[in-house]
Amino acid sequence: MRLRALLDTGTLGLRLLGGEEELDRTVRGVMTTDLRDPSRYLSGGELVLTGLAWRREPADSERFVRILAAAGVAGLAAGEAELGSVPDDLVAACARHRLPLFSVVEAVSFASITEYVVRQVSGERAGDLAAVVDRHRRLMTSGPAGGGPEVVLDLLGSDLDLRAWVLSPTGRQIAGSTLAGSGPELPAEVGARLAGEHLAASRTGRRGPCRLPLGGTTYSLFPIRGTGRDLRETVLSDWLLAVEADAGDWAEERLDLLNGVTQLIAVERDRRDAARTVRRRLAQEVLELVQTGAAPAEIAARLRVAAPVLLPGLGAAPHWQVVVARVEWEGGDVPGGPVAQTLLEEVLVDPGTFGPDPSDRIAVAHLGDEAVALVPLPAVPDDGDARDGRDASTAGLQAGTLLSVVQEPLTRGLADDGRLTIGVSASVHSAEGLRGALEEARHARRVAAARPGRVCAAGHEELASHVLLLPFVPDDVRRAFTARLLDPLRDYDRRHRAELIPTLEAFLDCDGSWTRCATRLHLHVNTLRYRVGRIEQLTGRDLARLEDKLDFFLALRMS
């Protein structure tokens, strides 16, 4: 359909404010948004509907219109309910960018306009499928009362007999059908497998929908809002629609329908992103105060404001943990901060980590290339042992379990050119402790970064160990140290297959016990003594001396 057709429909109540010469543009879809930057959700040709909630000052209009024009949208329709009228700065910005601008009177709902546009655009589809799409779109664009993605999934079940789930990039179930008899929730391990397959397919450029046979059932995976400036910026934050069916032999009309449904579910994703704005801003303000060395009283005052929002119903004086995450891409051409922020929010929203509904407690800001989460914990009685605001007895996040569910799918999404590293601080119970907690989490993240693997985490408990020192040893010193001690043994093992290196590792792991080490290696004690003697002869060290044992231990850890 053409933009001009919108003016010819009197029931829509649209008034043209500018761009008359551009009314022959083709409209391919419709999108409702109040995001300040909706570019990642635009593919071109949309009629954008906005309530102007993104506008805080006149300069915002130029930025918003420039983004829409660059994305190739067909036109912009602005509601008058928020400000009473369309501001002149928006009219001027649209004129500069040759973007047709309409005003929408308060009496006309965006749902009515959406329904009309969808009906026109979908006119070539088969009648029954088009009717389903219209029903979905009306429900999803009618505001929060529409019921969210569960309503869409219920309609897929009732109209097309399809079981479907909306999953996060880690496989966490965001929504499932609520119809009676629709079956149990998707098991967590199945969700993780599906998410991993989806991420791997996205990174390798395989055409969708991706299909995965699993446990005798075939699932088809459809990406939700998979557009963006760089795939690496969006693939780790996009939701996916998992359908219990093999879409390989579906007709084009049915594939169009499912792709349309993913666009509808993207509306809910936008709403949830917008709901996190306040928590992100609070976290940013607190962390900037902490990082700049503000007075504890000033930080404490900001925390008192943040606590009711981040920890509703659990008291105004909670304990806190700091979690730091960093995403690094080879080449450094993609900003890591926003990606790390999205991933950290996803990792922390896992219900197994923080209560039944942790999504309203996540506060993550990104400072430069790293994301920092201010995680509140329920306050516990002070046992009198805490110093400098620390309380090691408070239950909270543990680095060892933080990535247990999400590691496999995220590893596949990061592919061979990205890394995610996370550091977790101890809990603190006052503003004085936050600065130390932030530094502690950053040190722990550096420890995680020194480990192999695409997704790694480390906690505060590891900072009292030698592992804190190893990541900061310069590479040339590390290589020289390990070569001096271990190269003679490696060379001997290559020539004689003597297994001196495994013997050394086992001997140190058994604390120098000849009997336990011989039993572990299934050797006679005399054979073990011969091998250890050969190690000492080749290296000039004495494994009876604590200093030499420690040198070997560190060399093995750094190799």
What length does the chain have?
559
User: Helices (H), strands (E): how many in the chain?
Assistant: 20, 15
Domain residue spans in the chain? 4-115, 150-270, 277-471, 475-558
Which residues, including other chains, have CB under 8 Å from residue 60's CB and lie 6 or more apart? Answer: 36, 54
* Three-state secondary-structure class, residue 501: helix
User: What is residue 276's predicted lDDT score, i.e. its pLDDT?
Assistant: 76
CATH number of the 277-471 domain: 3.30.70
* Three-state secondary-structure class, residue 100: coil
Number of neighbouring beta carbons within 10 Å of residue 132: 21
Quick one: CATH architecture of 475-558?
Answer: Orthogonal Bundle (1.10)
What HEC string does 202-245 produce? HHHCCCCCEEEEECCEEEEEEECCCCCCCHHHHCCCCCEEEECC
CB 47 within 8 A of CB 286: no
What residues form DSSP beta bridges with 164?
243
pLDDT tens per residue across span 257-288? 888 788 878 877 877 777 777 778 888 888 88
Residues of the chain with confidence (pLDDT) below 70? 121-147, 179-184, 225-233, 307-318, 332-333, 350-362, 378-396, 464-473
4-115, what's its fold? 3.40.1390
CB 89 within 8 A of CB 58: yes
Phi, psi of 77 (to 5 degrees): -120, 120
Number of neighbouring beta carbons within 10 Å of residue 460: 23
- Alpha-carbon distance values, 26 to 2, 39, 123, 312 (Å): 5, 19, 14, 47
Domains 4-115 and 150-270 share a fold: no
CA–CA gap between residue 148 and residue 190 (Å, rounded): 23
* Three-state secondary-structure class, residue 420: strand
For CA atoms 375, 376, 382, 387, give the dihedral sign: positive
User: What is residue 137's predicted lDDT score, i.e. its pLDDT?
Assistant: 57
* Three-state secondary-structure class, residue 427: coil
Q: Is the peptide bond before 209 cis (omega within 30 degrees of 0)?
A: yes
CA–CA gap between residue 49 and residue 76 (Å, rounded): 6
What residues form DSSP beta bridges with 322?
374
Number of neighbouring beta carbons within 10 Å of residue 524: 10
The tokens for 178 are 């609520």
CA–CA gap between residue 364 and residue 341 (Å, rounded): 6
Gyration radius of the chain's alpha carbons: 29
Phi, psi of 362 (to 5 degrees): -80, 125
Query: In this structure, what DSSP letter does residue 281 have?
Result: H
pLDDT tens per residue across span 223-237? 886 555 566 667 777
CATH 3.40.50.150 fits 150-270, yes or no: no
Among candidates 303, 527, 327, which has minimal Cα distance to 417? 327
